[in-house]
Amino acid sequence: MNSLATISLISGFLGIVCLVPLLGSVVALIAGHAARRQIEVHRERGRERADLGIMLGWVGLVVVIAASIAAIIIVVLS
């Protein structure tokens, strides 16, 4: 099992659920893509975890961007 895939999954989950959403999402994306490369080269297991971490990373990033835009709009309109 690839450890970067596990890191990607955990940081993607934490990026959506709590703690630091932007950092968690970016770590999930970077670790997920690195894990996919390692899994392909070394024929390791964990492709599903890496893919899920990447998906969670993108979802978290979209949520952070949408929340930031919403906050800016609320501040400007009030």
Q: Give the pLDDT confidence score for residue 20 in this predicted structure.
A: 80
% of the chain with per-residue pLDDT over 70: 99
Q: Give the pLDDT confidence score for residue 61 in this predicted structure.
A: 94
Q: What is the mean pLDDT of the chain?
A: 95
Q: How far apart are CA 37 and CA 51, in angstroms?
A: 12
Q: How far apart are CA 22 and CA 52, in angstroms?
A: 17
Would the pLDDT of 19 be above 80?
no
Q: Give the pLDDT confidence score for residue 49 in this predicted structure.
A: 97
pLDDT category, 21, cuts 50, 70, 90? confident
Q: Give the pLDDT confidence score for residue 78 in this predicted structure.
A: 87
